[in-house]
Structure 1
Amino acid sequence: MRLRFPALFCMFLALALQAAKTTHAEERPNVIVVLCDDIRWNALSCAGHPHLKTPHIDSLASEGLYFENMFCTTSLCSPSRATILSGLYAHAHGVTNNFTDYPAQLDSFPRRLQQAGYETAYIGKWHMGEKSDEPRPGFDYFVTHKGQGKYFDTEFNFNGNGRRVVPGYYTTVVTDMSLDWMKEQGKKSDKPFMLMIGQKAPHSFYFPEPKYQHVFDDVEVNYPHSAFHLEDKPEWITKRLKTWHGIYGPIFDWRKEFPDDRASSVVDFARMVRAYWGTILSVDDSMGRLIAYLKETDQYDTTMIVFLGDNGLLEGEHGMVDKRTAHEASLRVPMIIRYPKWTNKSGPQRVAQQVLTTDVAPTILDAAGAEPMSGIHGSSIKPIVGNPNAKWRTEWLYHYNYEKQFPYTPNVRSVRGDRFKYIRYPHGDGSADKHMAELYDLQNDPSESTNLINNPDFKQTVVEMQKRYVNALKRVGLTEATDKMPLDQGIGTALPDKDIR
């Protein structure tokens, strides 16, 4: 049958629009961000862990970007999560503790993606605003729970339309819900999507899935050597040993009678560490299921996958558990990005430059071609992909504010350079610091075993790092006078309230 010109024109126009739409969609990747809670930088086999085997996460690293020096700017869950969303330091976004929600009017990368035509979802542990499980701005679909959630049988709020307990293991349940959402998304929309998955694991209290409860039973676990060499460390670290955040304390309820500094009490510490490892095996299973789905639906190579942690975790280093401090185990987080469009020329690589949680938001927006956020502290990592000599940061500011609910860590301010790290502990009232400062040569002493702050050979280095600290403050809009913090009320020994642990 012969087509008249208007019909023929309409047909060609429709085909052209569809082609343009398809091309545009191909240029805009789907984005999946998997955010683990309290995962150490080395708790993956691709990071060299001697016991953990994480083949699915490793596959992302072998095909994408593995960040050797990835750090959080505040080692505490809520402040760090707000930084990941906003690209801002905690003093700028306002979430400086674990009880403050993300400000409703504050910009975020999910909001920018929404504006760019993405369907957005958050499923899992939100961990900002402990008492609310209602939907948050920036997400078309939002499923979370109040507080920490439980490893088994958590009650979820489904997009503000009702709450119900979902039976099963948290990691598996959240993965099920994520896969269901992606399948539904594929049926009803051809928009690109951004999905954030908030895993509870491996946050305390650690309860592995039954099949992984005994995987590490035969692995010998001891206190690290650094726990017994505190002579050159600030006194507050020794005072912390028998508290909620010390190795002789209750160690997240794995020790029932405490404090206990007997050598035999290491068995409680070992049980805790093995359980922590066990929860990570389920996270790797989850990643395997997500990868399999993307491959089955031919979306694997058009999806940017970001796997990271919100903060690090001390596993006995310097006699400490938990996080909050400026020591390496507390600061460092794993991050892997698989996005073939950025690596098809350079290939997979291990990125050595210092990358921060402030860089996550601008990186995702850059990949999506969305409008960037202004006035933020982070930068897209795209310029350093395949270019190890690209100009990039060589130092950065770390800060943490003393919490009266968890009085086991002072105010912390630090500048970490490529080689040296300087840490100080301001009192909070403008008076002289009450705690000894710390200086570490990370090149020659990556485990921070020797504090060089009083070593006369490094006197000039201290002066230089103090100047770099002031400059690091300026780069995030602060001075020593405007850097507000609470008063350090000293190391406490009482346990935190049960409902906030």
Structure 2
Amino acid sequence: MLLEVDQNGIANGHVPQNGDGASNGHGPFAAQRRRNLIMFMPDQLRYDSLGCTGNPVIRTPRFDKLAREGTLFTNCFTQASVCTQSRCSMFTGQYLHTSSHRSINDLLKPWEDNMFKVLKDAGYHIAALATRGDLFGAGVTELCVNEYGFVESPPNWPPKYTGKSRTTQTEPPVEATVEQRLFFQGLVEETAPQDYDEAAINSALAWLESSPPEPFVLFLPLFYPHPPFKVKDPYYSMYLAETLPPRVKLSETTGYEPRFMEHVRREYGLDRATEQHWHDIKAVYYGMISRLDDQLGSIIDTLKHQSTGHLWDRTYTMMFTDHGEYLGDYDMVEKWPAGVHEVLTRNPLMIAGPDLPRGQVTEALCEMVDLVPTVLELLGVEERYPHSGVSLVKTIKETLTEHKPYAFTEGGFLLREEPLTERGGFPYDKKSSIQHTWPDSVGRAISVRDKDWAYTYRLYEEPELYSRKHDPGEAHNLAALSEHAETCQRMREAILQWMVETSDYVPWKQDGVGHVERGRQARSFNWILPRPLQPQVKCDETPGECLNCRKLELDCQWATPAGGPHDNFTDMATLALRSTGSVSVPGTSTVPAKRRREVVSSPLPTDASHWRADKTASHVDDVPSFQERSLLLDAFFSRVHPNPTASFVHRSDLLRTVHNGTVSRLLLLAICVISYRFSSLSDDAHPDGGERAAFWACRIRHDLMENLDRFSRPTLGATLLLIQHDINSGRSAAAWTLNVLATRMAFALGLNRQGPTGAQWMQAEVSRRLMWSSFCVDAMTHGGILEYCSCPASAVRINLPADEHNFALSIPEETDPLQRPPSLGERNRLGGLMSQYVRLMAIRNDVIQYCKNISEQPLKPWDTASPLQACLDALGRWHAELPSQLEFEEINLYARFDSNALDSLMSLHCWYDTLHASLYRVACPGFDQSLPASVLVQAPEGNRFRLLARHFPDHVPTMLDYSMWAHESARNLVQYSRVRGISPGGPMAGLQGQIREDLQIMVNVVAGMTRYFFCVRKRRFNDSSSYLSEQDLMWSAHKWRHAPGPVLEYLPWIRGELPMGSDEASNKDEDGHFKRHAVDPITLEPLSTSPHDVETGQITMASAAPQNEPQHVHPAPLSFPEGSPLQDTAERQHVFPALTSILDGSETVPFGMQDSSDWSQGWFWNESWD
């Protein structure tokens, strides 16, 4: 597609004016005949991949000839290692930190000046004969160019993936091979249609042969040799692996390397790459460049032999790229936003044309921001906006050896900018996932180079220093060596001076001084001025330390003045600084506090090997090391934080306070505890995830009990995380007890009421999330028993939480309360996922309470006025009001998969399905709330209750949409039995058959869950982190398979103290105590075991029978649902050997893992659903 232009080649009716460089006889450059310009711009071209730059193998005769016909710059550096950022910088002449084009999605805006706009306004005809889409934003293309698009369009364009797509996400293959993760595609068939570069070159040749209007600028932004690595013959077979220059291997490097390199190698699986893989990639990459060389030659030949005259004699030709390519160096491939190695940033800039020296090679340091003033000076166009470039024309014409003392490159993001980093589909899924999972790996970085040294400063990591003379491959980081300390200091000072000098610009267009608008009424602009600090009246205690008002969220007269936001947890940063006794915090007093909170007074330096905590009574000696904290924080944000009950943590603020040492010790320790089982440190045999996690959890409990009178938001947050950890670890009794403390703490802090009207939105939002997290945790622990509910919905009189995206970006959002008053009408401001989770938990309370009291209900479930119908209506409204981005649709699954938020969406919908199924437990056998069959048969014909009761055994294994309902049913049965405290002498008759039926249900559910996770999620996402691993299933199966033994241990006939069919008296020893027997959890029959076996817990189904009797055989083997992967024996042995051995009973039963009172409910909380 080409844009329409007038016959003079000027678009939008623009007429060149005096002073803009038009050839009208009046401009300062009117005497000079205006030249044309061609910019030949490959993508991702390494400096060392051309013959003229010293490569001994590659064949690039046309690049080499261009260098001989002009000037080659050997020390030119690009300002970013990613396409968009680099291009925006070089075509505006501004550094990333001043232009704010710091991400791949920040393109040039209509109000921004750039080289193309200036040239077009000066009368140049601009032709961009390709459609890359990574430079001009919406509405900018028509402002900057006259012709845009292909003359000969390539078929199937845009391709399925180009690495630049911002909207389309390609589904990954079933299993990405190492070749796919290396972006290697190899030989392209000769019959394949023309690709992007061929179409762009053919378009340029046709355009040049059509006598284009002069003066013109022809811009050719090509795609290759950007990955994927592929090319046709003869280029594919042009280079032999044994002749290629060696790469810089990881094994050859020394010193600290940036974290992203390890993450990329691990997530891409680059350890699978052999030396042959690296050779193949380089050979194809070189072949792509040789093809590029021929394409350049065709352009130059057309310029020299054009029929209307020799365009070459009146045209400048420039060749440059946007950035380089790792190409196997450091065992890496492609590039990285914070990567600043020389292989990514060194640019093979060439400039040739009339009146310029020929055959010149200069080592002068220069930058690609110098392109704008260089082009404008060559073409005789005046500069009209401020920039940081320095023209290279003088350096070229006078053969200067010095241009700039330093060259700078920058990239990366702040931690709080994590939501704005790249999001891409396959094959860039891993690259984007790393940036969101480990945001510090893409932290801000600045590299500075002179002719001798290259130094990199990283905001969240160690620095780098390389000798450019002795270590051109940058394999040996010397920054940590004392003999280079002076060099590091000099380079840091150069960065500081550069940042000060380039931090902003004074606009060239002045507004004037003293201009007065006449004829208008005077207006007050006081609203734009900061409000002065007003004298304040003390409520109580010392100024700035009104603890009572802060705790209870009262309207304190010593309120914080309007100003910048404090930390989300006000106690975290503010009180931590106050604890030093002398640091001033905005809005507070420097008077030492009378009462100290539990906060860290010493910082958490990144180079410290262990955390230095306060030397107080609650000092923890064994605390997470720096390396452990990094791993555990990664695990927290990737596996725990998406869980709504943990989403009160503001990610960027937490990471910032961790880095500057103001984080709450208790909160950080709780994060480490709950994250332990999800990290590489985890011990799967330990219920807490590991001994250290158990120790830290114990210390948190100790600190909570020691400081019960010191309530704060961080302490509440730590308590909530500890509750979730106890649930994950099977300590439901401990979780139930701690839940009371959490809800009381939330009420004492006044979080259940709307805060002061002047409170900052972020602080109020964190408070809301803490309160609603307390509400949700309470809903999960009280089991639907009204008298055990610590946090009823009616007591929480605050609005719902905001959308997670707005919370992450600190964008204020107004939401509705949980119970919307009629005055709000149909207004629907229900926030994000956590809001929907809160609403669902409120409905769940009603559902569970109804089910537990079904026998007391006067109305039948199918009556229209029944409470069950009210619950169904509430669930229907919930689903109808669900925002589209939270619906269970494939587009949402892919989007959340890339942002580590998939499990939270899955959990939300599983809870929704579970609540529907919970309502139907009244029709299911084996539960206390089941209605008698005599009542169920009274349901109207065709009613779902009758159908469910009639077809229950066949219905369970096929209900994939409700595969979690029996899971929840059993969980509530267990919890209800525990809370009721069933005694050994209670009525137990008739329960054996029910328990066996329940066990068969559980096995069916395991099969259903297995089928769902392995067949559905694996097929969709093909990522080990997105579905249950075999180890996860082993734990899950242990919990399902062996649940009845420990779960019902309070029942003497299950515990072995009272075998089935026996009376109580005959089973007591001589001391009057019940005799202990081991029980087969499937058959419920006693097994004879030695006391040693009982104590150690090593009881197996085969070895438990006495030697003088036949081996125990299950009388009724468990059946597996039709179509289940577990049904076929071969499939079971092939796919899940660990699961199979457990379900078959040949695996050791872990009864002795921990105290039975703690373990008794751990089976129903699979850690994969946290």
> Does the 8 Å CA contact 1:30/1:303 hold for their aligned counterparts?
yes
1:120 partner SS:
strand
Aligned counterpart in structure 1 of residue 330 of structure 2, from 300, 318, 342: 318
Q: Which residue of 2 aligns with 1:203?
A: 226
Q: Which segments of 5 or more consecutive residues in structure 2 lack a partner in the other structure?
A: 1-22, 160-191, 414-420, 424-431, 436-440, 505-651, 660-678, 681-895, 900-1019, 1021-1170
Distance 2:481 2:450 in 1: 19
Do the aligned partners of residues 115 and 185 (structure 1) sit closer, same or farther apart at CA in structure 2, a change above 3 Å counting? farther
Map 1:225-304 → 2, pairs under 5 A: 225-234=248-257, 236=259, 239-240=262-263, 242-243=265-266, 249=268, 258-261=269-272, 265-297=274-306, 298-304=310-316
Single out whichever of 72-81 and 435-444 deviates more from structure 2.
435-444
2:498 partner SS:
helix
Distance 2:352 2:258 in 1: 43
Distance 1:351 1:292 in 2: 26
Q: Which residue of 2 aligns with 1:474?
A: 500
2:355 aligned with 1:341: yes
2:383 aligned with 1:372: yes
> Does the 8 Å CA contact 1:72/1:356 hold for their aligned counterparts?
yes
> Does the 8 Å CA contact 2:77/2:408 hold for their aligned counterparts?
no
Distance 1:220 1:464 in 2: 41
2:425 aligned with 1:396: no
1:240 partner SS:
helix
Aligned counterpart in structure 1 of residue 157 of structure 2, from 117, 136, 154: 154
Aligned counterpart in structure 1 of residue 128 of structure 2, from 101, 105, 122: 122
Task: Determine which structure has greater relative contact order: mean sequence separation of CA pairs < 8 Å that are 6+ residues apart, divided by chain length.
Answer: 1
Distance 1:19 1:178 in 2: 29
Q: Which residue of 2 aligns with 1:426?
A: 459
1:275 partner SS:
helix
2:346 aligned with 1:332: yes
> Does the 8 Å CA contact 1:415/1:422 hold for their aligned counterparts?
yes
Do the aligned partners of residues 235 and 397 (structure 1) sit closer, same or farther apart at CA in structure 2, a change above 3 Å counting? closer
Q: C-alpha displacement at 1:477, in angstroms?
A: 1.4
TM-score, normalising length from structure 1?
0.77
Do the aligned partners of residues 415 and 52 (structure 1) sit closer, same or farther apart at CA in structure 2, a change above 3 Å counting? same
TM-score, normalising length from structure 2?
0.35
What count of residue pairs does the alignment treat as equivalent?
Answer: 433
Distance 2:30 2:384 in 1: 22
Q: Which residue of 2 aligns with 1:252?
A: none
> Does the 8 Å CA contact 2:108/2:140 hold for their aligned counterparts?
no
Distance 2:447 2:241 in 1: 39
Q: Deviations over 1:274-329 (max 9, x none)?
A: 22222112211111111111111211121100011001111222332223412111
Whichever residue aligns with residue 340 of structure 1, its letter is P
2:205 aligned with 1:179: yes
Q: C-alpha displacement at 1:94, in angstroms?
A: 2.8
1:446 partner SS:
coil
Do the aligned partners of residues 107 and 215 (structure 1) sit closer, same or farther apart at CA in structure 2, a change above 3 Å counting? same
Q: Which residue of 2 aligns with 1:88?
A: 94
Distance 2:898 2:53 in 1: 33
> Does the 8 Å CA contact 1:124/1:200 hold for their aligned counterparts?
no
Q: Which residue of 2 aligns with 1:413?
A: 446
Over the aligned positions, Cα root-mean-square deviation in angstroms equals 3.5
1:42 partner SS:
helix
Q: Deviations over 1:48-102 (max 9, x none)?
A: 2222211112111011011111110111100111112111112233321222222
Q: C-alpha displacement at 1:374, in angstroms?
A: 2.6
> Does the 8 Å CA contact 1:44/1:58 hold for their aligned counterparts?
yes
Q: C-alpha displacement at 1:182, in angstroms?
A: 2.4
Map 1:159-174 → 2, pairs under 5 A: 167-174=193-200
Distance 2:368 2:102 in 1: 15
> Does the 8 Å CA contact 2:465/2:479 hold for their aligned counterparts?
yes
> Does the 8 Å CA contact 1:65/1:336 hold for their aligned counterparts?
yes
> Does the 8 Å CA contact 1:133/1:144 hold for their aligned counterparts?
no
1:267 partner SS:
helix
Whichever residue aligns with residue 384 of structure 1, its letter is T
Single out whichever of 461-470 and 385-394 deviates more from structure 2.
385-394
1:311 partner SS:
coil
Q: C-alpha displacement at 1:112, in angstroms?
A: 1.5
Q: Which residue of 1 aligns with 2:58?
A: 52
Do the aligned partners of residues 25 and 278 (structure 1) sit closer, same or farther apart at CA in structure 2, a change above 3 Å counting? farther
Higher helix share: 2
Distance 1:72 1:400 in 2: 11
Aligned counterpart in structure 1 of residue 488 of structure 2, from 448, 462, 470: 462
Distance 1:240 1:151 in 2: 36
Distance 2:139 2:331 in 1: 35
1:107 partner SS:
coil
1:309 partner SS:
coil
Q: C-alpha displacement at 1:155, in angstroms?
A: 4.7
Q: Which residue of 2 aligns with 1:350?
A: 361
> Does the 8 Å CA contact 2:154/2:193 hold for their aligned counterparts?
no
Whichever residue aligns with residue 94 of structure 2, its letter is L
Q: Which residue of 2 aligns with 1:5?
A: none
Q: C-alpha displacement at 1:440, in angstroms?
A: 1.7
Higher strand share: 1
Radius of gyration: which is bigger? 2
Q: Which residue of 1 aligns with 2:216?
A: 193
